[in-house]
Amino acid sequence: MIDDAENAFIGPDGKDYHRTEVAMNRPVRYRLKSPSQVGSFVKTEIVEPMELSVTDAAKALGITPAAMSTFLNERSSLSPGMALRIEKAFGVRMDTLMRMQNSYDIAKAA
């Protein structure tokens, strides 16, 4: 269902999405109102399921445990270098991670 007054879309999953403009015959694209921060995604989808400690995850990425903790606890943004390290260590595509970071940054700015 689309609420034109607020330009929002409630998806089948019940989440609110922003509606972007439709150009020509292109499909409507939706942007999450509040996408998750990449550190949170890495924590819940990679580190926790693999039962890694912060130290073990940091070692796999070649960074300090303090830097890993800062990232996982959403106190730092994803850099291209970190995205590449995550791709090499855990197989999540760098471009996917960078798009997630970009979506998060846009939502935060809006």
CATH number, residue 47: 1.10.260.40
Provide the mean pLDDT of the chain. 83
Q: What residues contact residue 45 under an 8 Å CB cut-off, 6+ apart?
A: none
Over residues 1-22, the mean pLDDT reads: 52
Q: Model confidence at 5, in pLDDT bands (50, 70, 90)?
A: very low
Over residues 49-54, the mean pLDDT reads: 97
Q: What is the β-pairing status of strands 2-3 and 30-32?
A: unpaired
- Both 72 and 25 in a single domain? no
Residue 2 pLDDT exceeds 60: no
Over residues 25-45, the mean pLDDT reads: 78
Count structural domains, the chain: 2
- Both 49 and 103 in a single domain? yes
Residue 55 pLDDT exceeds 60: yes
DSSP secondary structure code for residue 22 in this structure: P
Question: What is the pTM for the complete model shown?
Answer: 0.69
Residues in the chain: 110
Domain residues for 67?
38-109
